Amino acid sequence: MQDTLLALSPLDGRYAKSVAALRPVFSEYGLMKARVRVELEWLKALAAAPQIGEVAPFSAATLAAIDQVIADFSPEDAAAVKAIEATTNHDVKAIEYWLKNRFAANREIAAVSEYIHFACTSEDI
């Protein structure tokens, strides 16, 4: 920030350089990345639970694809989520829609995409 007098807090003002390494974790991007991880880990748990017959277990390839999306979530992906949020006016719903779009070509996930966010509230994510 060029003028620290206009900063919202000392963290983005005088201490901006000192806390720069924390931005990927505590920024809106960091929150989105964490929510993507939680949504996908939840979907993996549903697929692994024999009591949830509607969600078949995922193949190793699909599990690897899920893990790759978690690992590779980027600021560009976050911008795509924000674009969806502009329509939904709901941050967690935007993540859900982004994930459905992201995995539309994966037959295993597409078949159970309505279970992304199943039985969760936004507070859970």
Helices (H), the chain: 23-26, 28-48, 60-72, 75-88, 91-102, 107-111
Helix (H, G, I), strand (E, B) or coil at 16: coil
Q: pTM higher than 0.85 for the full model?
A: yes
Superfamily of domain 28-124: Fumarase/aspartase (N-terminal domain) (1.10.275.10)
Long-range Cβ contact pairs of 40-48 (< 8 A, separation 24 or more): 40/66, 40/69, 40/70, 40/99, 41/70, 42/117, 42/118, 42/120, 43/109, 43/112, 43/115, 43/116, 46/112, 46/115, 46/118, 47/112
Residue of 35, 17, 37 lying closest to 85 (CA atoms) = 35
The encoded tokens of residue 112 equal: 């159970």
Helix (H, G, I), strand (E, B) or coil at 15: coil
Per-residue pLDDT of the chain (125 residues; tens, 9 = 90+): 567 788 889 988 889 899 999 999 999 999 999 999 999 999 999 999 999 999 999 999 999 999 999 999 999 999 999 999 999 999 999 999 999 999 999 999 999 999 999 989 888 88
